[in-house]
Structure 1
Amino acid sequence: MEFFNQTGKLFKTILGLFLFLTLVVAILPAMKNQQSNKPLPGAPSLTEEEKAGKNIYIANGCVACHSQQVRNIEMDKAFGDRPSIAADYAGNTRTDLWRNTATLMGTERTGPDLTNIGNRQPSTDWHLLHLFQPRIVVDQSIMPAYPWLFEIREKTNKDDVEVKIPELYSQHIKGKVIATREALQLVAYLKSLKQQPLPDGRKAMDFLYPKAIPGSTAIKESPNQNGQQLYAQNCQSCHQANGEGLPGAFPALKGSPIVNGDNLELFVGIIMKGYDARPEYGTMPSIGINNNLTAEEITAIINHERSSWGNQAKPVSAAEVSRVMDMINTNNKK
């Protein structure tokens, strides 16, 4: 018992035990994980702009409400093409010498998961609008606005990125809304969040607890319902559920001459390659290419748009859309 009265020896023993446990419990397993888990082939590293955006994401507390982990349950299927795996995080490194915020998996989903937001929402204009005032693009959003990431000026400079604000929200704004470099860096980071496909066409693990039980007598969705679902996943955030878009930001599809017209090549080309309608509207990203939409999926979206919100254009076939897509792909290779 005399040992416990010798404070010097007692302190050194406790310190040695603490260092030993730290080595065995924390350091060695971490080193083993780094050796065992490698990034997926082709997984890109963050650029300097994206790294800066990650720091802004941390500084503004985004991790408090948004997770970056797709769990292997059916309800998470909306956030990614597959459940997250260790390799998805293996390429992350320390933010700096003092901060080990390599992964931002989060613990709460007050807002949606952002693991695959770069694929789900690739529009820079949408993200900037969402940061400036979330209620513009998501009417019932509880996300706070981040106006300090923007400047209000009377005139724009050559390299300025102006954010198109709908009239309903711009009446009290005296000037033009300009995205700061910090806002653009944050958007660059958000757009970099994409799930990397598994190599060699390897099949990912299944999502557990599916809503529909295989072999059940559940009624299958009609092609029109499928088009409605695809529209909601790929188009609705900008063009809105009612097809009316956001005046001054995103064009309406209701009554659109392109949607109701006969120029299928133009229609499919916009979905596949995007469209720059500035200065009237923001730039539409390449939804079809970015999301690897098939001819059947694009056909379903087109037919949904051509038969909704009062539009009464004739439907198109997957064969027609496929021929246009082949033409677009051929022209891109030239």
Structure 2
Amino acid sequence: MNFYSNHKLLFWTALIFFLFLTLNIAILPAIQNQQVYKPLPNAKPLTKDELAGKALYVANGCIACHTQQVRSVEMDKVFGSRPNIPADYAMNRRTDVWRNTANLLGSERTGPDLTNIGERQPSVDWQLLHLYQPRAVVEQSVMPAFQWLFEEKQYTDKGDVEVKVPEQFLKHKFNKIVAKKEALQLVAYILSLKQTKLPDGVVAPEFLYKQKEKAQAAVAAGGLPDGAEIYAGNCVACHQATGEGLPGAFPPLKGSPVVLGDDLKLYVTIIMKGYSGRPGFGVMPPVGTTANFTPEMVAALMNHERSSWGNSAKPVTAAEVKKIMDEIK
């Protein structure tokens, strides 16, 4: 009974027991996890601007509508080439002593998952326009416009990053929309979100609950993949389903002299390596290289664009495309 009557003994016994439990249940397992879960060999740490963008991502509530987790179910395959593994998050660190933004996994998909958005949509121009006015690039989008990350000017200054906004989305027709530093940092973080390739010999986890495969339904005439599907997955966000692009932002493919012309080398080079020579338009990223397009995929995409929206041009073959791809490597 003396033990229960001695308040000092009770206090110190409870404190020591609490510290013992804390050490063994929280601190030591956390240290062990940090030693076991190492980042993948090719993982890159965030730059200063990307870290600042991550803080803006949190501050602006992006985590409320977007996840960063490719689950192991087949329906998530559109968001990444493989399900996520613990090592994908091993490089996350505290923002500072007081704040911990370790894993921004999220729980809602009001908007699409962003795990691999840096690969799926690597265009800086598209990302900035999407932040300024989401409905300019995705008509049905419910995402709010983050226009406080931009400023409106009559003239651009040296070093300004102008956002190519279609006229119908401008408040004042002849003004210029310039991205603030915060917008550029947020886009830098978004574009840093890429699934790291697994080391050679490491097998990726399989997707579960696979949907019934279309028995070569994705293969069109001539043994090529479905060009319309490739276009929808890689090109439609900028050039639109109509092929008309967005005036002042992204050029049209409908009636395009490049699409309809005979200079296949230029055409293939643009798809694989991007393009920056379009007056009035931003830089096109190397979509084909980023998405690891094969000659068959490029040929299928070209044939879709050359035969859609009223376009009518001679089909190309995978052999023609392969020859060009070998030349431009």
Normalised by the length of structure 1, the TM-score is 0.92
Letter in 2 for 1:48: K
Moved more, 271-280 or 43-52: 271-280
Letter in 1 for 2:130: H
Aligned twin of 1:204: 204
Distance 1:310 1:174, change over 3 A: closer
How do residues 100-249 of structure 1 correspond to structure 2 at under 5 angstroms?
Answer: 100-172=100-172, 175-212=175-212, 218=215, 220-223=217-220, 226-249=226-249
Matched, 1:310 2:297: no
Which secondary structure state, in structure 1, belongs to the residue aligned with residue 151 of structure 2?
Answer: strand
Aligned twin of 1:326: 326
Letter in 1 for 2:188: A
- Structure 2, unaligned stretches of length 5 or more? none
Q: CA deviation at 1:279?
A: 4.4
Deviations for 1:137-172, whole angstroms, at most 9, x for unmatched residues? Answer: 111111111111101111111100000111221254
CA RMSD of aligned residues (A): 1.8
Aligned length, in residue pairs: 326
The 2-side partners of 1:286 and 1:119 are apart by 10
Contact residue 133 and residue 146 of structure 1 kept, 8 A: yes
Contact residue 152 and residue 174 of structure 1 kept, 8 A: no
Distance 1:9 1:146, change over 3 A: farther
Letter in 2 for 1:192: S
Distance 1:228 1:4, change over 3 A: farther
Contact residue 268 and residue 321 of structure 2 kept, 8 A: yes
Deviations for 1:218-272, whole angstroms, at most 9, x for unmatched residues? Answer: 5622327721111111111101111111111001111111111111001001111
Matched, 1:89 2:86: no
Aligned twin of 1:47: 47
Which secondary structure state, in structure 2, belongs to the residue aligned with residue 283 of structure 1?
Answer: coil
Which secondary structure state, in structure 2, belongs to the residue aligned with residue 177 of structure 1?
Answer: strand
Aligned twin of 1:261: 261
Deviations for 1:256-291, whole angstroms, at most 9, x for unmatched residues? Answer: 111111110010011111111454112110111122
The 2-side partners of 1:111 and 1:2 are apart by 63
Letter in 2 for 1:236: V
Letter in 2 for 1:159: G
Aligned twin of 2:297: 297
The 2-side partners of 1:251 and 1:241 are apart by 13
Letter in 1 for 2:234: N
Distance 1:112 1:2, change over 3 A: farther
Letter in 2 for 1:33: N
Letter in 2 for 1:152: E
Contact residue 227 and residue 303 of structure 1 kept, 8 A: yes
Contact residue 69 and residue 115 of structure 2 kept, 8 A: yes
Aligned twin of 2:75: 75
Distance 1:173 1:151, change over 3 A: farther
The 2-side partners of 1:71 and 1:100 are apart by 23
The 1-side partners of 2:5 and 2:154 are apart by 75
Normalised by the length of structure 2, the TM-score is 0.94
Moved more, 142-151 or 6-15: 6-15
Contact residue 134 and residue 143 of structure 2 kept, 8 A: yes
